[in-house]
């Protein structure tokens, strides 16, 4: 009897013990649950206060903000366009700790870059890649808006891109075009008519840029030009590497652990090396000193002598990176748009037929199309505009900065905001363009007043950027795309390789490669044959 009582008492004690443990655990769980709910409520209350006067946008995650959404969304310009269809043409994201305003409609672009805001938005966003590749923000594309940038911009515009300079290089443009048309004709004569057009466009543009910058023919820089093309592929991939420390400063160590900063520095060193080969600085300094009477300065000589960096000439390092910046912008962007343009025309036989009829009527059959023909070729001009609309070289720019707080449509734009201009979305704005995904040059025949070379007026078509930071070489780029496209349509018949069907070609033509530029996923390869009774060189 006593033994039974002891056993029963022990069981009761054990039961009480486990009940107390279970009660304690449930109390702890309840406490944790209440704490989590409280923190979530506080986070969303804080978020609501923070976003009170900001444009609409998706809710950010704690710490990382909307970086997770962007990282998992595929091609950035397409993902941001889908978001804009829900949140509107002016959208707010938070990238880590950095506020970001995404501009995705023509009306939003016009509002954001109105006169009272434009100067405030003329500086560039900073980041590790830009810092390294621009020699600490010293080159034209990446300098902060201010005295250094204005002086450099004036000099470059005057010596490279002014109307007078543009006219002075007309013979050089037509000579280089004639040479490359001859190369294409000779390939056809040898039966080697399968052409990678991106490479052809790049070579032609690179030849012209070497003439403008160094007064050298393409043959004189063949080795450097091959290295230049290889470096283009490097920058298209390296620049897309994520430097998470740009957005979450406390995680800068991850950038180093991933080797991202080393990759950026390797690309910078490659650019300095190639730029140095092109410029031959020691040789030109020696020849200038030895024979100053016979010395004929080119652009590099002029910029070497100009006090553009706090009253001093550019350092050799900055100059090499600046020259490579010009070569990249003047070569690859035009080649990218031209490749897309040819693909769109080949995929639309009626457009090809109409363009060729116009060219035959204006140019005839005994010569190449020339720059003087362009004003008389409105349908070709409409094709070029439509190509720039559907395929701007840089579909989404991440590099504008709001230096001071601003206001747009009643919303607050915080100081320090990154301004992202989604040209892909703006150029497909359904409020402006009917059937915006369709390649239809007729839309610009009906609206010839749309000026894609302005940067201040036609906000619905801005392939060269906006405001005072728009590309200074816009006129040159447009001229080269028009010349290359017009002559290829006029002088050659084009067909698809390997008996590919037109439907299959059109389907493939929509595929893009992930990168800083909107390039085709696969290079455009076509079969060329000179047209009968039409000059091809």
Contact 275, 323 (CB under 8 A): yes
Cα(221)–Cα(219) distance, integer angstroms: 5
What the block records as the tokens of 227 is: 């290295």
CB 527, CB 192: distance < 8 Å: no
- Residue 85 Cα distances to 91, 100, 102, 105, 355, angstroms: 10, 17, 12, 10, 34
Cα radius of gyration (the chain): 29
- What single-letter DSSP state applies at residue 347? T
3-state secondary structure of 95: strand
CB 150 within 8 A of CB 468: no
Rounded to 5 degrees, φ, ψ at 180 are -75, -30
Q: Give, for 392, the enclosing helix (H) or strand (E).
A: none
Could you tell me if 92 and 55 are in contact, meaning their C-beta atoms sit under 8 angstroms apart? Answer: yes
* Cβ atoms of 371 and 170 closer than 8 Å: yes
What lies within 8 Å, CB to CB, of 250 at 6+ separation is none
Helix (H) or strand (E) holding 480: helix 474-491
- Long-range interactions of 139-142: CB distance < 8 A, separation 24+: 139/318, 139/321, 139/322, 139/325, 140/322, 140/325, 140/472, 141/325, 141/329, 142/399
What lies within 8 Å, CB to CB, of 145 at 6+ separation is 119, 122, 123, 124, 403, 468, 469
Tell the residue number behind the tokens 């609206």, with chain if given: 447
**100 annotated among ligand-binding-site residues:** no
> Left (φ > 0), alpha (ψ -120 to 50) or beta: where does 395 sit?
alpha
**Locate tokens 């910046």: which residue?**
325
Helix, strand, coil in percent for the chain, rounding step 5: 60, 10, 30
Q: What does the alpha-carbon distance between residue 327 and residue 333 come to, in Å, rounded to a whole number?
A: 10
Under a CB-based contact definition with an 8 Å cutoff, are residues 364 and 358 in contact?
no
Gap between the Cα atoms of 357 and 340, Å rounded: 21
Residues 6+ apart with CB under 8 A from 501: none
- Binding-site positions: 471
Q: Give binding residues for heme as ranges.
A: 471
């Amino acid at each position: 009897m006593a033994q039974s009582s002891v056993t029963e008492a022990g069981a009761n004690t054990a039961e009480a013990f486990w009940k107390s443990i279970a009660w304690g655990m449930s109390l702890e769980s309840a406490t944790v649950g209440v704490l989590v709910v409280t923190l979530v409520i506080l986070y969303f209350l804080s978020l609501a206060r923070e976003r009170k006067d900001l444009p609409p946008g998706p809710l950010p995650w704690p710490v990382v903000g909307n970086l997770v959404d962007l990282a998992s969304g595929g091609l950035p310009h397409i993902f941001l366009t889908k978001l804009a269809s829900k949140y509107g043409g002016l959208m707010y994201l938070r990238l880590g700790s950095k506020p970001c305003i995404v501009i995705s409609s023509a009306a939003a672009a016009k509002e954001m870059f109105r006169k009272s805001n434009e100067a405030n938005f003329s500086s560039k966003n900073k980041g590790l890649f830009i810092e390294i590749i621009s020699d600490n923000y010293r080159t034209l594309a990446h300098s902060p808006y201010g005295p250094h940038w204005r002086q450099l911009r004036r000099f470059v515009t005057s010596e490279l891109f002014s109307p007078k300079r543009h006219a002075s290089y007309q013979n050089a443009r037509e000579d280089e075009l004639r040479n490359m048309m001859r190369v294409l004709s000779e390939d056809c004569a040898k039966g080697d008519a399968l052409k990678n057009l991106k490479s052809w466009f790049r070579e032609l543009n690179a030849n012209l840029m070497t003439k403008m910058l160094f007064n050298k023919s393409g043959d004189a820089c063949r080795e450097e030009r091959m290295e230049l093309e290889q470096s283009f592929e490097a920058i298209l991939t390296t620049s897309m590497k994520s430097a998470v420390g740009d957005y979450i400063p406390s995680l800068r160590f991850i950038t180093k652990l991933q080797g991202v900063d080393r990759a950026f520095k390797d690309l910078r060193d490659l650019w300095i090396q190639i730029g140095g080969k092109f410029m031959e600085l020691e040789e030109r300094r020696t020849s200038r000193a030895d024979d100053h009477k016979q010395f004929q300065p080119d652009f590099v000589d002029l910029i070497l002598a100009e006090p553009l960096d706090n009253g001093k000439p550019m350092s050799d390092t900055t100059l090499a990176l600046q020259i490579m910046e010009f070569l990249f912008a003047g070569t690859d962007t035009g080649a990218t748009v031209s490749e897309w343009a040819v693909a769109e025309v080949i995929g639309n036989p009626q457009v090809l037929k109409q363009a060729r009829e116009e060219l035959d009527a204006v140019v005839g059959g005994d010569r190449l199309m020339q720059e003087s023909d362009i004003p008389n070729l409105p349908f070709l001009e409409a094709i070029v505009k439509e190509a720039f609309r559907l395929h701007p070289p840089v579909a989404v720019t991440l590099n504008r900065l709001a230096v001071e707080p601003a206001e747009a449509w009643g919303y607050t734009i915080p100081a320090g905001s990154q301004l992202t201009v989604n040209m892909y979305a703006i150029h497909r704005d359904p409020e402006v363009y009917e059937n915006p995904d369709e390649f239809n040059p007729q839309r610009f025949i009906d609206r010839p007043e749309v000026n894609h070379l302005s940067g201040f007026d036609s906000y619905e078509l801005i392939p060269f950027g906006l405001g005072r930071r728009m590309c200074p070489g816009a006129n040159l780029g447009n001229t080269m795309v028009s010349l290359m496209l017009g002559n290829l349509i006029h002088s050659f018949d084009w067909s698809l390789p390997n008996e590919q069907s037109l439907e299959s070609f059109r389907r493939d033509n929509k595929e893009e490669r992930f990168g800083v530029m909107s390039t085709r996923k696969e290079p455009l390869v076509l079969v060329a044959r000179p047209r009968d009774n039409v000059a091809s060189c």
